[in-house]
Structures are given as structure tokens and as C-alpha cells.
Amino acid sequence: MTETLALLRSVDSPTVCDAIEVIDGRRGFAAFTRVTPVPSDPRGVIVGQARTARISAAAPPADAPEVIRARRMDYYRHMAEGQGPRVAVVEDIDPQPVGAFWGELNTTVHKGFGLSGALTNGVMRDIGNLAPDFPVIAGHVGPSHAFVHVTEIAVPVTVFGLSVAPGDWVHADCHGALVIPETHLAELPRAIAQLQSTEAIVMEAARAPDFDFARFENAWAAFEAART
């Protein structure tokens, strides 16, 4: 698993999506986001099992302050628990997210808990001062935390059209995110290697100084033969 995780951190989300289809032997994999995100680091890659929650910030919470405080501590306890690579997946339930949950403080805390990054349709702030090597894949950038508060913990969430359950394996980067079927994890190294080797047939031909349509046609035929 260690080598597989290192490989997944070295490739982008499109590669993982394509590799899942290599394993399936067909197109049609659909567990990916549908909206262009705002990444804190265009080069950042997040891999891990989801620790989930929901937040709201547009209006003050209706619950008593002591209830809100207790729920906030329960949230941090949930994020701190668990073994192995983890990623925070937090759904902002406001129709138009306005309050930043992710900034310098929260990224530092979550990184300290051992999480590899955060995926949210909500707001981030403190760009340039977020915890190093803790990517945030967000929906918006904004200046204020507004009335941000945790509403639910350890529940299935939906972020950018992607449904994520607690414990799901998530891969995310500047392109968006996907849920990796757990049954596919062991096969991903082989599938990624096959994908990269077959694509190289066309790309190496295209980079050659004598590339033309005839050479493309031959390379494409070899490419199609190699991936069947």
C-alpha cells in the first residue's frame, strides 16, 4: 500500500480516472467532480480516506453556544482520529458559500492531525499563509469567516457533484477530485503503468522532428492495439 500511495501522490487526477477505466475495461467511470475548483496550490495532490463534515456560514447558528462549541470539538476529534492517510472532505451547505472555514489556522491544525489536505465546495482564505504542503481544493476564495460553524460530522457529503462517504478513498488536485473504488487500489499501479506506456506511443511519435500524418496514423494504430 505504501508504494501505491506514493504513486498516487505522483500522478494527477485525470491519470487516476483513466487508470480506473483501464481496470474496468470500458469508459463510464463517473465518481468525479463536475465543477472547476480553486486550488490553493496548482501542484498539490491530496490522497487519503475521507473524514467528512458539513458546515454553514451564511447565518448565525440556531443552536445554543455550548452546543456549537461541543460540536466543534467533536469535529476536531473526528478529524484527529483514524490511521493512515486521511483527507478532510467538508460540504458547505449554504446555497452560496460565503464564510471561509479554511485558512491559516485550520490548515495548520488539520496538518498537525496528520491529514493530507482538504476538499470543499466552500471558501478558503489566507492565501500565501496556509500550512505548507497542505493543499486545499475549494470552491471560492473570500476574506471573512462569516458565521461559519459545523452542522454535521462523519456523514455522507456532496462536493462539486461528487458523493463522498466517510472512509472513501479520495484523490484530488487542481483538476478536481474523484473517489477511488477500494477494490481497484491494488490494480492501480499496473493500470497506470499500462496507461502511461500506451500514451507514450503517440506522444513520442508526435515529438519526433519527422512527425507527419502518416507517422501519426501508424502510431495511433499501435496505440489502439496496445490498449486492447
Write the pLDDT tens digit of every residue in 124-180: 999 999 999 999 999 999 999 999 999 999 999 999 999 999 999 999 999 999 999
- Are 173 and 190 part of one and the same domain? no
> Per the structure block, which three cell numbers stand in for 29?
467511470
- Are 158 and 200 part of one and the same domain? no
d(CA 32, CA 40): 19
- Are 158 and 211 part of one and the same domain? no
- Are 58 and 150 part of one and the same domain? yes
> Per the structure block, which three cell numbers stand in for 125?
482564505
* pLDDT tens string 48-99: 999 999 999 999 999 999 999 999 999 999 999 988 999 999 999 999 999 9
**Is 43 annotated for ligand binding?**
no
- Structurally, how many domains does the chain consist of? 2
- Are 161 and 198 part of one and the same domain? no
- Are 80 and 141 part of one and the same domain? yes
Element (H, E) at 114: none
Asked if residue 156 lies in contact with residue 140, where contact means CB atoms within 8 angstroms, the answer is no
- Are 93 and 130 part of one and the same domain? yes
Does residue 2 register a pLDDT over 90? no
Q: How confident is the model at residue 228 (pLDDT cuts 50, 70, 90)?
A: low
Residue range(s) defining the domain that contains residue 169: 33-180
Does residue 227 register a pLDDT over 80? no
- Are 189 and 168 part of one and the same domain? no
**Is 126 annotated for ligand binding?**
yes
Three-class SS state of 29: coil
- Are 68 and 110 part of one and the same domain? yes
> Per the structure block, which three cell numbers stand in for 18?
483513466
- Are 20 and 67 part of one and the same domain? no
pTM: 0.94
- Are 218 and 112 part of one and the same domain? no
CA-closest candidate to residue 105, choices 70, 71, 148: 148
HSE (CB half, 13 Å, CA atoms) of 98? 9
d(CA 59, CA 99): 10
What pLDDT is attached to residue 153?
Answer: 98
DSSP H helical segments within 91-151, as ranges?
A: 104-112
- Are 206 and 132 part of one and the same domain? no
Domain boundary among 141, 163, 180: 180
> Per the structure block, which three cell numbers stand in for 118?
482538504
d(CA 38, CA 8): 21
